[in-house]
Amino acid sequence: MGFSGDQKGPTTTTTGLTESESTVLLSQKNIPQDTYHLGYIIYFTLGLGFLLPWNAFITAVDYFSYLYPDASVDRIFSVVYMLVGLTCLLIIVFYARKSDAFVRINVGLGLFIVSLLVVPVTDLVYVKGRVGLYDGFYVTVGAVGLSGMADALVQGGLIGAAGELPQRYMQAIVAGTAASGVLVSFLRILTKAVYSQDAEGLRGSANLYFAVGIAVMVICVILYNVAHRLPVMKYYQELKIQTLNEEKEDTGSISGALSRSTLFYIVGRIKWYGIGILLIYIVTLSIFPGYITEDVYSETLKDWYGILLITGYNVFDLVGKSMTAVYLLENSKIAIGGCVARLLFFPLFLECLHGPKIFRTEIPVTILTCLLGLTNGYLTSVLMILGPKVVPLQHAETAGIVIVLFLVMGLAAGSIVAWFWVI
């Protein structure tokens, strides 16, 4: 791999394969079945779970905007969540090999539960539906930041773990993230239809989002601690341990310098996949949800307009992320080219604000929003599946975490660009 220092070259067999490659090929004949697709279902649910807190905060924006009318709630939430998550991920990337992903994920899931509890508890003991109590807003922003920290721990760990597994498990996680948005969007539609559209109705619907979020996170804790006991998961964990042991035999004791060389090697191998994901989320977060909820308006649909646009985005994001289960684009150059082509969404959405009257209507905005979700979902899924597979198995976890780092960098950059590009 081009590492410096004294190393023993990998031993080859009579077939011309390394011992590690031969071991993998032989062991693949005895892979346990994922009985009843339990592993897939668990990873799908975990993907749904780790984005549910973010979706709950964002989807309850009308409640927070009512309580804190002088704050740009969507954009502040986005910046805080993404920057905290980015900072934590940077730390995780450099110390991933020194920490246990199992512990990181469990701690993150616990922090998600705490962050979701903050909103209803703050409402119950302090805010009580009253407008303008900005101490409550600062506490809520703190909960958003805590949720961003939890996201870094959980998402980084899960994507890293899925990178060591067959591609269907990465596809399950990615599809689960999209299902999270769909679930919360339909909850939002349900509550808007059922609850009265006054202060108490907004309060009740927001508390419902967070109650559902807490329940799902508890389920995620249980499922995650069951997953590693499944025979198929045990098999891949043992395969990872075996591969790591063989790497240590080949390289001797792994020094700090070698670890750093390994990280640079991984980044070099997956950088274009990461850049593609970075571009995807700069474009998406620049437009969604801020533009959708604050910059366009419909005389006909009124406050239903933003809700329906968010739902349309989330549904098509799920469609895109599910499509890779049917057809996976394996040409990474085309996929990355598609990420660059998505920059065209900027002038197109700008036309919907300042262009001819025909563009400043509901239909063009709705079509563009659905296309934004579809391309976001499909291209994300393709690159997340392909990226960790371009490095050896023993480095797949770190590769997955690095890809998530690119993703969060895109989210953070996009949430900042969202403040400026429509001006």
Question: Which pLDDT does position 412 carry in this prediction?
Answer: 81
User: Binning pLDDT at 50, 70 and 90, where does residue 16 land?
Assistant: very low
Give this prediction's pTM: 0.83
- 90: pLDDT strictly greater than 50: yes
Question: Which pLDDT does position 28 carry in this prediction?
Answer: 55
Does residue 31 lie in a domain region? no
Mean pLDDT of 394-405: 88
Mean pLDDT of 279-305: 86
Nearest residue to 156 (alpha-carbon basis) of 210, 98, 71, 96:
96
Does residue 126 lie in a domain region? yes
Can you count the helices (H) and strands (E) in the chain? Answer: 16, 0
Does residue 156 lie in a domain region? yes
Mean pLDDT of 91-103: 79
8 A C-beta contact, residue 216 and residue 48: yes
Does residue 362 lie in a domain region? yes
Does residue 132 lie in a domain region? yes
CA 36 to chain centre: 26
- 158: pLDDT strictly greater than 50: yes
Domain count, the chain: 1
- 219: pLDDT strictly greater than 70: yes
Long-range contacts of residues 30-38, Cβ cutoff 8 Å, at least 24 apart? 30/235, 31/232, 31/235, 32/231, 32/232, 32/234, 32/235, 33/231, 33/232, 34/230, 34/232, 35/230, 35/231, 35/232, 38/230
Q: What is the pLDDT of residues 244-267, one digit of tens each?
A: 777 666 655 444 454 667 888 999
- 177: pLDDT strictly greater than 90: yes
Say how far apart CA 63 and CA 15 lie, in whole Å.
65
Report the chain's mean pLDDT, rounded to a whole number: 85
- Span of 130-139, 235-244, 278-287 with lowest mean pLDDT: 235-244
- The residue with greater pLDDT, 116 or 189, is 116
Question: Which pLDDT does position 255 carry in this prediction?
Answer: 47
Say how far apart CA 141 and CA 292 lie, in whole Å.
21
- 11: pLDDT strictly greater than 50: no
Q: What is the pLDDT of residues 306-352, one digit of tens each?
A: 889 989 999 999 999 999 999 999 999 999 999 999 999 999 999 99
Question: Which pLDDT does position 89 carry in this prediction?
Answer: 87
- 25: pLDDT strictly greater than 80: no
Mean pLDDT of 171-177: 95
Structure tokens given for 201: 């109705």
CATH of the domain at 135: 1.20.1250.20
- 379: pLDDT strictly greater than 80: yes
Nearest residue to 333 (alpha-carbon basis) of 381, 273, 406:
273
Does residue 15 lie in a domain region? no
- The residue with greater pLDDT, 152 or 19, is 152
Does residue 30 lie in a domain region? no
Q: Which residues lie below 8 Å from residue 238, measured CB to CB, with a gap of 6+?
A: none
8 A C-beta contact, residue 137 and residue 71: yes
Does residue 17 lie in a domain region? no
Mean pLDDT of 82-104: 83
- 400: pLDDT strictly greater than 70: yes
Q: Which residues lie below 8 Å from residue 306, measured CB to CB, with a gap of 6+?
A: 289, 292, 293, 296
Question: Which pLDDT does position 10 carry in this prediction?
Answer: 42
Per the structure, the complete domain to which residue 204 belongs is given by 37-417
Q: What is the pLDDT of residues 64-81, one digit of tens each?
A: 988 999 888 877 887 898
**Phi, psi for residue 12 in degrees, rounded to 5:** -105, 150
